[in-house]
Amino acid sequence: MANSEMRRVIIDVDVGTDDAWALLLLLKCEKKYRFKVDAITCTHGNTDVTHGARNVLRMLTAIGRLDVPVYKGATEPIVTAVPFREKPFHGIDGFADLDLNDTVDESLIKPEHAVNELYRRIQSEAGAMSLVFIGPLTNLALCIKLYPEIRSKIRELYIMGGNRYGMGNVSKSAEFNFWSDPEAAHIVFNNVQCPITLLPWETCLSEQKTIPMEWRIKVLGNTSNRAVQLLNQAEGKIFAGRPFWRPCDAFLAAVFVDPDIVESSENFHVDIELTGQLTRGQTVLDHLKSNRENVKLMEKLKTEQFKMLMLYAADHEVEHKL
């Protein structure tokens, strides 16, 4: 392939340890899998946008990739206030509140707002830019409403969020990313015209049962990679006592890196419930097939292939197995 044919991607994050793994996977796999991470945009979600951007810089510093530009975006959902959570899963700072003493050079964060930068890059490279969104969809929704002409100019969109069977992880019926900004998810699914790949919460639940926490710590975590060593500290605290590892955002990043990792999927028309008293933020699938399908929904991944990708990203000697 010529360089001009390489995939180019912007990743939108709310870092979050599983976002951090997704970033590491994407940045480590660029050369082997022929794509380029053009930019990283940050949003509210697992933590506030400032902590999220700091965590991105920590990861980039650890692996020597400060060449990738970082932008701060939305600080809150489009309509409602930031939902209150008494005990955020990833801690207040997104990295398990480790009281890190490192110095993060926030001057490296670009001054442009993430929404405007998304527009500039999508517009200038019409049809060429892939998007991987692994937090609330606020930045993309705002970009669509400010600049509706981008709706037809995105190459492909990968999203971690929502649910297939109405199983929630933050409410009875809603997954965290869509629950955090249901209006944003609704705007995205009803406007973008490119192929959408969706990894829902239930798929993450089924995949986690194949990845013991012992493997995560003793095998994957046994490396000199500085980013992984940082994540060892954070996830050692977050997942303490849990039998399985659940890196939801890394699952989605792996699907982007190597689509062959998908064992099964199904196409649906997807929309988001906005007004239900018990179901706000729930993903609604058209099982009647009465509307045009707009999403490829991931059902099952090839676990061993995923684990090999993660080992590769963590600098283990496994390239010959990929």
Q: CATH code at 21?
A: 3.90.245.10
* 237 lies in some domain: no
pLDDT at 3 over 60: no
* 184 lies in some domain: yes
φ, ψ of residue 140 in degrees (nearest 5): -70, -40
Lowest mean pLDDT among 4-13, 98-107, 183-192, 205-214: 98-107
How confident is the model at residue 150, as a pLDDT?
97
* 97 lies in some domain: yes
| pLDDT tier at 256, thresholds 50, 70, 90 | very high
| pLDDT tier at 2, thresholds 50, 70, 90 | very low
pLDDT at 1 over 60: no
**Chain-centroid distance, C-alpha 212:** 22
* 121 lies in some domain: yes
**Average pLDDT of 300-305?**
96
How confident is the model at residue 87, as a pLDDT?
78
Q: Compute, in degrees rounded to 10, the torsion defined by CA atoms 26, 22, 58, 232.
A: -120
**Average pLDDT of 268-294?**
96
Domain count, the chain: 1
Domain of 44, in residue numbers: 3-206+246-300
pLDDT at 146 over 50: yes
271 is catalytic: no
Task: Select the more confidently predicted residue: 5 or 197.
Answer: 197
* 158 lies in some domain: yes
- Altogether, the residues listed in the chain come to a count of 322
Please, which residues have CB within 8 angstroms of residue 145's CB and are 6 or more apart in sequence? 187
* 125 lies in some domain: yes
* 38 lies in some domain: yes
**Average pLDDT of 72-95?**
88
* 61 lies in some domain: yes
Cβ neighbour number for residue 54 with a 10 Å cutoff: 23
Q: Note the maximum CA span of the chain.
A: 55
Lowest mean pLDDT among 96-110, 228-242, 254-268, 279-293: 96-110
Q: Are 71 and 42 in contact (CB under 8 A)?
A: yes
| pLDDT tier at 172, thresholds 50, 70, 90 | very high
pLDDT at 103 over 90: no
How confident is the model at residue 84, as a pLDDT?
77
Q: Are 184 and 162 in contact (CB under 8 A)?
A: no
Average per-residue pLDDT in the chain? Answer: 94
- Catalytic pick among 14, 48, 93, 258: 14
